[in-house]
Each structure stands twice: as C-alpha cells, then as structure tokens.
Amino acid sequence: MATRDLAQLAQTLLDLHRPGDPGVFPTVWDAWSANIAADAGFAALTVGSHPVADSIGRADNEGMTFDELLTRVRQITTAVEIPISVDIESGYAEEPARLVDGLLEAGAVGLNIEDTVHSEGGRLRSATEHADLVGALRAAADAAGVAVVINARTDVFLKQVGEESDRVDLAISRLRLCAEAGARSLYPVGFHSDDVHRRLAAELPLPVNAIGHPAQDNRAHLAGLGVGRVSFGPLWQMSLAERARELLTAWR
C-alpha cells in the first residue's frame, strides 16, 4: 500500500478518537471477524493479540511471534479497507523500527504498546523506559512518513502495582510521559469504576481508551464518562465462544 494511502488511513483513525464521542473499534482476530465488524458499519478496527493468539493455537503474552501476528494482520487488511490498529503486546523483543515497518508493510496504521515485558519475565518497564519506547516508535513512524497512531498502555491496574489508593495517580503519571513522548491515545487498561474513568479522562492529556464488553456495556455510557476510544480486547471473541458452546451443546 502506498505511503500516502497509509497516511490517510492513519489520519482517519486519529480523527475517530473523540473524548465524549468515542470511536468504537471492535477487536478482531481474522478476516472473518474483520468482515463482520466492517459490514456492521464500524469505521476502524483493532487487532487483539489475545484473540489472534487463541485463533492460531498460541498463548497470550507473546506466545506467538511478531511474524505470526503480521501474517494475520495482512489477511485482515486485505479483507477490509478501513483503518486497522494492532496490539503488539510489549514489542516481541523487536526494535522499534522493525515493529513500525512491519506493521506498515502489513497495512496497519495504529498500534498498542504495553509496559509489561513478556520476554523478560513479565516485569513492568519503568515509566521513563516505557516513554522512551513510545518515543522511539514515534521516531520510526515519522521516518516512514506515516503518523502511526500509538496507543500507549499501562498495566499498573492489571498488575495491581502499589497501593490501590495511589494507582490512579501512578497510571496518570506514567501515561503523561507517554503523551509527551508521542503517543496519540492512552490506555490505562482495566475495568474501572465510573469515577475512575471520569478522572482518567479529565486528567490525561489525550483521548483515553476504555475496554468495553460488547454484551454488557454500551457506547452512550462510556461516552458520558469522557472516554475517547473503545475496544473490546478478547471479550467479543469470548462472547461468541460462549454462544457457540450453547448452540453445540444442544447437539451432543
């Protein structure tokens, strides 16, 4: 795909990040799921590492390789013509330029990068180390001529880092550094109370990504909390799996 086309897709993706009027980017794992979401009218999609890994018989948390992920991303971008953002976990121990160039070659224009380093025992990067990685990814995207939408994620809630009373402050301080380094959206991943969502949206300088459950949450409620982007993680795939089990059980 030509650089100018990727650049336009990246801008389209960025424009869908609207605090209080969030873009909903269903999290897909193959061409089939991508086509379902695109046919339903969604303007952009995310590719989730967990559902992709499940779909190819690998474990989450970098049980698959970056090249295996790229194979699936190419299949998705061939199937649909809307912007695609890809969860690259903690980067598969690859260099930033390799990550960005691989995604662009596969037709993706956005990425999630988390601060848990799976290749190093699941340690949490320091705040400055994670921000430096975000900055290196931004520099690689700039060098490639495409304003890749970097969604910087922190796992302090998932890993229950520090005291619970301090966790929101910790997440905000870490993600502010990522914003300064060149992120375009921020992902304090976890299931939060409404009050925490409101505070994150109010105090972070960029649109906030919330995880939504497709069968239990709704866009209007999350919009009212000020979030700017909604994705599903593995929850859409899990919901479909639950329904599939119900259908199949009747035939045993």
Give residue-wise pLDDT tens across range 58-71. Answer: 999 999 999 999 99
Residue 242 Cα to chain centre, angstroms? 23
Strand pairing category for 185-188 and 149-154: parallel
**DSSP designation for 16:** T
- The more confident residue out of 161 and 4 is 161
Instruction: Pick the closest to residue 114 from 133, 96, 141, 100 (CA basis).
Output: 133
Question: In angstroms, rounded to a whole number, what is the distance separating the alpha carbons of residues 235 and 110?
Answer: 20
Mean pLDDT value of segment 193-204: 98
Mean pLDDT value of segment 162-172: 95
pLDDT, position 47: 98
Question: In angstroms, rounded to a whole number, what is the distance separating the alpha carbons of residues 91 and 89?
Answer: 6
Burial class of residue 113, CB neighbours in 10 A (0-12, 13-18, 19+):
buried
pLDDT band at 3 (very low <50, low <70, confident <90, very high): confident
**Mean pLDDT rounded to a whole number for the chain:** 97
- At 124, which helix (H) or strand (E)? strand 123-124
Mean pLDDT value of segment 5-33: 98
Is residue 126 scored above 90 in pLDDT? yes
pLDDT band at 4 (very low <50, low <70, confident <90, very high): confident
pLDDT, position 234: 97
Angle at the Cα of 233 (from 228 to 237), degrees rounded to 5? 135
pLDDT, position 80: 98
What the chain holds in terms of domains, given with CATH numbers, is 3-249 (3.20.20.60)
Percent of the chain, pLDDT > 90? Answer: 98
113 has which bridge partners? 152
For the stretch 75-107, pLDDT in tens is 999 999 999 999 999 999 999 999 999 999 999
Sign of the CA dihedral 45, 171, 206, 135? negative
Crossing angle, helix 66-79 and helix 96-106, to 10 degrees? 30
pLDDT, position 122: 96
